[in-house]
Amino acid sequence: MAGGVAERAGRIFFWLLAALVAALVLSLIYAALWPRRDRLAQRPDGRLIRVQVLNGTREGGAGARVAAYLREGGFQVVEVGNADRFDYPASMVVARRADPAAARKVARYLGDPPVIRQAWTSDFAEVTVVIGADRSRLRVE
* Side chain identity, residue 95: A
Task: Please report the pLDDT score of residue 42 as a whole number.
Answer: 72
* Residues 50 and 106 placed together within one structural domain of the fold: yes
* Residues 21-61 pLDDT 10s: 999 888 877 766 665 555 667 776 778 999 999 999 999 99
**Same domain? 57 vs 42:** yes
Say if strands 127-131 and 50-55 run parallel, antiparallel, or are unpaired.
parallel
Structural domain range at position 126? 37-137
Interatomic CA distance for residues 66 and 80, integer angstroms? 9
Task: Give how many domains the chain has, as a whole number.
Answer: 2
Residues 77 and 127 in one domain: yes
Q: What are phi and psi of 26, to 5 degrees?
A: -60, -35
Residue 41 and residue 117 in contact, taking contact as beta carbons nearer than 8 Å = no
* Proportion of the chain above pLDDT 70, given as a percent: 89
Alpha-carbon dihedral sign for residues 46, 118, 129, 112: negative
Could you tell me the pTM of the whole model? 0.70
Do 130 and 110 lie in one domain? The reply is yes
CA atoms of 60 and 56, how far apart (whole Å) = 10
* Torsion sign across C-alpha atoms 78, 42, 111, 120: positive
What pLDDT, on a 0 to 100 scale, did the predictor assign at position 104? 94
Distance of CA 62 to the CA centre of its chain: 18
In a 3-state reduction of DSSP, which class is residue 105?
helix
